[in-house]
Structure 1
Amino acid sequence: MEGDEINVSSFTPQVASASDLPSVIPFTLDLSHRNKGLVDELEVHYAGDAQENPQVTKSITERRPEESWIEIRYPFTRSASLKEQYRLFGTGYVRFGKILEDMDAMAGDVVWRHLRRKDRLIATAAVDHLAWAGELIRLDKDLRIQGQVTWVGRSSMEITLEASTVGPQPGDTPEVLGSAHFVMVSREDDKAAPVPQLVLETPKARKLFE
């Protein structure tokens, strides 16, 4: 299956430490705590902040799409406890509904990285599009979900997330499973709140924006 070609090629991805997680994946962290999840088992990468990546803009009105990029890896091949938490009962596959729940939380994390505003409320308006290869997610491979903001309006944003499986060996080629497009809205004082616009510097960014 062909993916949406989300990547962070213009940045050096940062590895999120435990102390970084509240500012990188706050929604995923909250969901994990409520569900007694194993967030510490996840591997999180992100585009970094201005002090970590000089390419990250300090502007409050504009952002590059890549600046909101996040990747979460589920190392099923190395974590028996994580594998059991996501296992579809009695099978070697992942519970798909649990992954969709994670993707919704991750879309919120991506928006959080785009806004960089603690005073904003973020809500899911719709799952605009879900494309899946029809295959179940196997537990004998690691799962990778990455995403970034790909379109913005005045107060709404589209977040594109892409899921793929990765073999346990270094250099294994990822296999794209599917993608989802979430529409999120920003609110402040119970009113729609403006969001940073996108700076589209590459053909790939412009293609995803269309």
Structure 2
Amino acid sequence: MASRLVRSLSITNRLVGSFKYKPTVMSRCCSTTPADKVLTIQELTVNLAKAMGVDSGFSPIRADRSHLSEYLPTSQSELPPRAMRDSYLVAMIPLSTSTRLQDRYTTFLGYVRVGRLLEDMDIFAVMVAQKHILNPKLPEGTPSPQTLVTALVDRIDFSDFVPKPHEDIKISGHVSWVGRSSMEVVVWLEQKMYGTWHRITRALFLIAARDPTNTKAAMVNAIEPADDREKAILAGGETRKANRIALEKQHVLKVIPDHDEQRIIHDLYLKTKSNKNLSFTNMVLPANGVWMEDCTISNTIFSQPENRNLHNTVFGGFIMRQAAELSWVLGFKFSKYRPKVKSISDIKFNKPIAVNSLIHMYAHVVFTQMQFIQIVVYVEVFDPQTGNTDTTNVVHLTYEVPEIVREVYPRTYQEAMMYIDGRRHFFEIMKTPYDHDNVLNEEGIRNKSKL
């Protein structure tokens, strides 16, 4: 199956690509050649580093890439439009044949570590974005001038399928929407069980293209949908972009909560008041309730070179893994059950983190309903010399446990705003459930390649 898949992808690329060009390091960076083999995620990572012109081994001084600026297009019209299937990529996480990987990917319960999958999806999304870019100005053998960084993880939804740590996991994806310098990439994970591929997760990444020195935006190829399927996927990307903009404008740090949300906060406050004591300051915890201030844990990480990305800053997947594992511990501690992650959403990457940084992570239970727990993790970088702290990332996670959990009560206005923000994220996840189908797949690409 794997060999047929890769051969069909090769045929498709020749049929769909109307723009004639010589293969370059850029175009070959994420190739799954030879045709009879699907590469592993580890092999593709090595190829990506070569395409970016990154030497192996750590150096505290980042390599100078400023000379590559001459190959950047000055407008999007200089780049040939691409179909979605041009960026389609597939790889394997070879758990069935690597005991070393099994050790790294297995939890103490014998399941697959979600955090490790987050790391793989993050780097894979960059590979897909790299495969989308086609620059006719770039000479053969020249590293890519675009610097690709993860700007946002819109959403990662998990199915009910439980992957096994001793079977290979297939990771695949394609670009699903493009702006002038940003690309939405859909990534999904699958595992074969009893002859059938089962979807594990579907993720949406927003990848930003920057210039060689990572100081300003760089143009990327526009998308020209090849068929109605791609048109529908592209329209979905436009809708998600509009939704992100609308939600950001209504953030509690920018706009007063609406009337219903103000009423909710007031009702929560009244539940903490006793009829026998009319004091505003004397608050009583309701039955089966818990104060938000008691639902938090934290962690401090000193990052090392092994945690870096291709740009000599801390790898975004590493941050996501650490945040996910810290939130899981909090969910376990809070509910007394081992929680199952349902969704991770709205992961913001506000600033790059230097490799030698002190990273503080704070996880809070901010909202609960029935058997669901909404947790937010704030990632901060602390400078011991200046005493300054910068919030670099925010991660929202939705968990589910087997029984109804306690209700969370805020005691301060700050906690009330965290409650409202968490409630918004929870209901945003609930109103748009897990989507199994809104992606391309190898079967559809194989069929198109026969036309």
Q: Same fold (TM over 0.5)?
A: yes
State the 4+ residue runs in structure 1 displaced beyond 3 angstroms.
7-10, 12-18, 20-27
Partner SS for 1:162: strand
Kindly state the Cα deviation for residue 9 of structure 1 after the two structures are TM-superposed: 9.9
Mapped contact 1:186–1:192 kept (Cα < 8 A): yes
Mapped contact 1:8–1:69 kept (Cα < 8 A): no
Which residue in the other structure is 2:117 paired with?
99
Residue 126 (structure 1) aligned with residue 152 (structure 2) = yes
Kindly state the Cα deviation for residue 22 of structure 1 after the two structures are TM-superposed: 6.3
Q: Structure 2: which 5+ runs fail to align?
A: 12-30, 58-77, 136-143, 236-451
Which residue in the other structure is 1:76 paired with?
95
Mapped contact 1:115–1:196 kept (Cα < 8 A): yes
Q: Structure 1: which 5+ runs fail to align?
A: 1-6, 35-58
Kindly state the Cα deviation for residue 24 of structure 1 after the two structures are TM-superposed: 4.8
Residue 173 (structure 1) aligned with residue 196 (structure 2) = yes
Residue 208 (structure 1) aligned with residue 227 (structure 2) = no
Kindly state the Cα deviation for residue 202 of structure 1 after the two structures are TM-superposed: 1.3
C-alpha distance in 2, partners of 1:15/1:115?
A: 16
* 1:58-103 superposed Cα distances (whole Å, 9 cap, x missing partner): x833111111111111232233222122111x33211101110110
C-alpha distance in 2, partners of 1:143/1:204?
A: 26
* 1:99-144 superposed Cα distances (whole Å, 9 cap, x missing partner): 1011011111111111246111111111112111144432143211
TM-score, with normalisation over the residues of structure 2? 0.34
Mapped contact 1:8–1:66 kept (Cα < 8 A): no
C-alpha distance in 1, partners of 2:234/2:6?
A: 16
Q: Residue 60 and residue 161 in structure 1: after superposition, are their counterparts in 2 closer, same or farther (change >3 A)?
A: same
Q: Residue 21 and residue 145 in structure 1: after superposition, are their counterparts in 2 closer, same or farther (change >3 A)?
A: closer
Kindly state the Cα deviation for residue 21 of structure 1 after the two structures are TM-superposed: 4.0
Q: How many residue pairs were aligned?
A: 172
Point out which structure has higher relative CO (alpha carbons under 8 A, 6+ apart). 1
C-alpha distance in 1, partners of 2:44/2:106?
A: 24
C-alpha distance in 2, partners of 1:73/1:25?
A: 16
Q: Residue 72 and residue 11 in structure 1: after superposition, are their counterparts in 2 closer, same or farther (change >3 A)?
A: closer
- Structure 2 counterparts to residues 51-90 of structure 1, below 5 A: 60-88=79-107, 90=108
Mapped contact 2:159–2:201 kept (Cα < 8 A): yes
C-alpha distance in 2, partners of 1:127/1:9?
A: 31
Q: Residue 73 and residue 198 in structure 1: after superposition, are their counterparts in 2 closer, same or farther (change >3 A)?
A: same
Which residue in the other structure is 2:32 paired with?
15
TM-score, with normalisation over the residues of structure 1? 0.70
Mapped contact 2:128–2:173 kept (Cα < 8 A): yes
Letter in 1 for 2:106: R
Q: Residue 124 and residue 83 in structure 1: after superposition, are their counterparts in 2 closer, same or farther (change >3 A)?
A: same
C-alpha distance in 2, partners of 1:67/1:81?
A: 33
Residue 159 (structure 1) aligned with residue 221 (structure 2) = no
Q: CA RMSD in A?
A: 3.2
Partner SS for 1:161: strand
1:138 aligned residue (153, 164, 181): 164
2:209 aligned residue (186, 199, 204): 186
Partner SS for 1:137: coil
Further displaced range: 68-77 or 101-110: 68-77
Mapped contact 1:62–1:197 kept (Cα < 8 A): yes
* 1:18-75 superposed Cα distances (whole Å, 9 cap, x missing partner): 8x84685449x9xxx88xxxxxxxxxxxxxxxxxxxxxxxx83311111111111123
Identity of aligned residues (%): 27
Q: Residue 95 and residue 15 in structure 1: after superposition, are their counterparts in 2 closer, same or farther (change >3 A)?
A: same
